Structure 1
């Protein structure tokens, strides 16, 4: 009798010379993160941090579709619909701790952001020290489309983008390419996808900065930078309703498209996202924002729009979410503030780590 083949590991951990190589290995799901994958990445980072033989860490995705399409939202959806929230809380707790660890990692952390990089994929890459994009990169925080709010410290990154570009990406859930990712501070270098094998091979014996410089090309132009005038003018408004009104009053066709995009999103998610980024702009550390993310994520799980958004976009795929409430005017300041209320003993705790410049 033939025995079934063992399931492939969801994360491949490999040592190659001076390189510790992490490969996310769920290509059919565009390497969406599970709680087990987060644990495996964390364990590898912990081991290599104290190992002098490992000088550089690399994270990449299996397959040709992308690094990572985010968290496993189907599992989160099931927990929101049928569970008690404990599984989701554990996932986010471990994921956000991993994000903080990556940002403070004392060795070069090279992320190959090739193909699709969304949500949690941004969390395991854009907090790294050496962030590589390619001509195939499509990077974004699409959470408002599923009634959720950008997490994984994304608000910390987006509020440090030029002008209001980060808020625009967060609210409209628009993906960007290599040039925009670099201009917004979400990536550092552009490497043609055909040169990635050469880069990975070089990292086995060469310092990260040297290996990257040998294959990188000049950053592509950023289309978004050219659109800053109308984006800044609209997204500097005080409320989502005012942002939408300014977009509708703009003569720019792209502004009308942005208004149409906002009209499709969860009103609650839009209002909470706007507040989350405002608070992140005043935050003093990534860890502060991650603690905020944890509060907001747990509240979002308990609210109706997240499960409904995932149902409409991923489960039934009818693309017709029934948001509750359906109108921005029905989302009150008190509703928004409740997402940020302290969790008491359930607050996210993060191990204090002092930033150490990565060795190059």
Structure 2
């Protein structure tokens, strides 16, 4: 059995190498909350420190849980209730978190990540071993704009290229011509909720090398996605619509999509992500603009046999001036190595965390 002895929350901000454009906002700094957990093995008396990160954003443009909300829920709801809670494995810890609140998926995920890390260190297992992943490397994809970045991505060997488009302004004839220039390359389309039911014909005319379309319709929608999926042979993958396992169940009941973008930091943690992967036909791992710590988790999850498409996992130095891990997660010819050290598999750079800290840390002990 395991028991938490101490938890610390450390707000940090990673500076972007260049401003990052999303469908929701422009990001020049990536705020995160680092969670450290001192975990006791009650049988052996050994203590290990695990690290996690809360991956919500600074504002509410992506979800209704931002960094301030995540930290407040951790401080006032979750941490006081789990201080003396004894549990046997990460899954039972996750069940307890879900019992405490059905909400706050980002907060729960950051806390649970640290527990997985600590248990891996105590049991001398990597995260990949703990979740029964396979292989020493995984194929990866990359998200780019339109034509300007495709050739560069091809040169680097990325095995799937995601094109982020706005259906209100894109010229679909030009898009199709562009995609047909690379018939052997796997693409996906991130629609950023910009499609409507009037785009069904244009979706059906996309070439065969488009593996799936991510979140074509509204961010909170399941019903219209189901109508669209029923009228196209293209695979739809839901992203923004999915914030917890209840949303996954709704997606499956409504037949809203054939694929699911797995973001463990957004769905409530690694345990919830593993459950979702077992439930859906075509799961794959999306990106959350995470540090190398969260990226290492995504790589391990991507090594699961059921993962259907290369994940959105780029080189750890691609986005930030300074990361918080000592290793570099490097993409070579479209693949990336799975971290093999105990726990999440990478070494946290404590000096970097200290230098990047933005607010006073919060600590709770038993």
Name the TM-score, length of structure 2 as normaliser.
0.27
Higher relative contact order (CA 8 A, sep 6+): 2
Which structure: greater helix fraction?
1
Which structure: greater strand fraction?
2
